[in-house]
Structure 1
Amino acid sequence: MKSLFLSLFALLLFSQTEAQQIPSKAMQIKTAVLAAPEDLREGAMVYGYDSGGNWTVLRAGSNEMVCIADDPKAEGFNVACYHKQLEPFMERGRELKKEGKNFQEIFDTRENEVRAGSLKMPKDGATLYSLTAAAEDYDAMAGEVKNSYLRYVVYIPWATQESTGLALKPEAPGMPWIMDPGTHRAHIMINPPKE
């Protein structure tokens, strides 16, 4: 009986510690939208985590941006915001990851689905903003981030080096280049020089 009581106490303590590690809804929203351009932050839809660690919508949006809060289980700070036309692509990736698929399986599945027309990609391109910081520069409970780094990704499905004139790798700091050319996931990478 005593060991059962101790086990239940330990489980309760673990559950409370786990819940305490998830920032409040307000703090998740505050930090998630930091990746978006300033004039698009207020109306952005935000995904994040409830007090039990479950994926959920934290705020409905009123503009074209969708933001993703930092994963409290992952090391460091990493948030992203992207144009809502990318949502079917992103959602499908989350579904496949939840099924246990690896990167290549997710890539191949989405490639086949986009080719078949069952998964839609933006026709004219769409942007994703990614903001990262080291763990020591992020106070999740206070919603404060220091020394962050913002990079940009512009999805342009099926584009190639030949169709864009973009290099296949950056040859200078901040130089845009094309990644995954000729695929559904072709995108321009822009990594500004780090200060």
Structure 2
Amino acid sequence: MKQFIIAIALTGALISCKNAGENKQEADDSAVAETVEDNTADQVTTNYVPIDSDEALIAASLMAAPEASRAGCKVIGYNMAGEFVTLREGDNEFIVLADDPKKSGFNAACYHKSLEPFMARGRELRAEGKTGPEIFDIREEEAKSGKLDMGKQGSTLHIYYGESDLYNPETNEVEGAHYRYVVYLPFATAESTGLPEKPVGSNHPWIMNPGTHRAHIMISPLPDKNKN
């Protein structure tokens, strides 16, 4: 009789363990299903479209400017017809140089208006057919002589660039675009700033063209992975 009672008890225990295991497996399966469902819900498709109008070109190019200043920026550059024009008048301290729609990829810039003589001189020399090194040498000489105004010390250039020429019309963001910042400090050096002449990391500031009219601090933030 005692052995019979023990056998019944063991059978009950095995059945209980089996039911507990099945319940746990059902719970695990349910959790996995919910996770998959949540991940699927989070995958929102962005409808990027070509920049095919002056309005779209202006909107996307303004992303180069600080968000709080975009409404008042002047926008210049090539329009969709290939003419270099003022695309939009502005009333604040920034000028946006729009992306050139005839070139592949996307590259817009925003700079402090005190840099306009320096920027305009570069465009003028480029239109004359001067090469990069020639433009550098001419502006170097003109800056040293005082003929070329290099703007306020510490004036900043904001660059918004990427390989794609598609944008999201809802947010104006260009597909896969990144930011880079340039702080102009004419004739500054590594010694005068304490910055290295080469980056010590992919997102570390450094000084480029030290000791020249084009001396500037380079800052390249890491890409926002949530937007790529």
TM-score range, shorter chain: 0.7 to 0.9
Does structure 2 retain, via aligned residues, the 8 Å contact 1:23–1:141? no
Question: Which position in structure 1 is the counterpart of 2:191?
Answer: 162
Structure 1 distance, partners of 2:80, 2:160, is: 23
Report whether the alignment pairs 1:106 with 2:111.
Answer: no
Question: Which position in structure 2 is the counterpart of 1:38?
Answer: 67
SS in structure 2 of the partner of residue 154 of structure 1: strand
Shift of 1:140: 9.1
User: Taking structure 1 as the reference length, what is the TM-score of the superposition?
Assistant: 0.83
Shift of 1:22: 7.5
Question: Which position in structure 2 is the counterpart of 1:138?
Answer: 166
User: Taking structure 2 as the reference length, what is the TM-score of the superposition?
Assistant: 0.71
Structure 2 distance, partners of 1:65, 1:133, is: 21
Report whether the alignment pairs 1:90 with 2:116.
Answer: no
Structure 2 distance, partners of 1:141, 1:54, is: 24
Considering only aligned residues, what root-mean-square deviation do their CA atoms show, in Å?
2.0
Shift of 1:46: 0.2
Of structures 1 and 2, the larger Rg is shown by: 2
Question: Which position in structure 1 is the counterpart of 2:210?
Answer: 181
Structure 2 distance, partners of 1:123, 1:173, is: 28
Deviates more, 1:24-33 or 1:106-115: 24-33
Report whether the alignment pairs 1:69 with 2:98.
Answer: yes
1:111 corresponds to which letter in structure 2? E
Shift of 1:193: 2.2
Does structure 2 retain, via aligned residues, the 8 Å contact 1:123–1:157? no
Greater share of helix residues, 1 or 2?
2
Q: 1:146 to 1:140 in 2, by over 3 A?
A: closer
Structure 2 distance, partners of 1:152, 1:126, is: 11
Does structure 2 retain, via aligned residues, the 8 Å contact 1:23–1:140? no
Structure 2 distance, partners of 1:22, 1:54, is: 16
Structure 1 distance, partners of 2:103, 2:182, is: 21
1:55 corresponds to which letter in structure 2? F
Question: Which position in structure 1 is the counterpart of 2:24?
Answer: none
The CA deviation string for residues 127-176 of structure 1, in whole angstroms up to 9 with x for no partner, is 001111222x6249995512210010000101000000000011123110
SS in structure 1 of the partner of residue 107 of structure 2: strand
How many residue pairs match? The answer is 174
Shift of 1:116: 1.3
Identity, % of aligned positions: 52
Structure 2 distance, partners of 1:102, 1:189, is: 23
Shift of 1:191: 1.0
Gaps of 5+ in 2: 1-49
2:211 corresponds to which letter in structure 1? G
Q: 1:146 to 1:52 in 2, by over 3 A?
A: closer
Gaps of 5+ in 1: 1-20
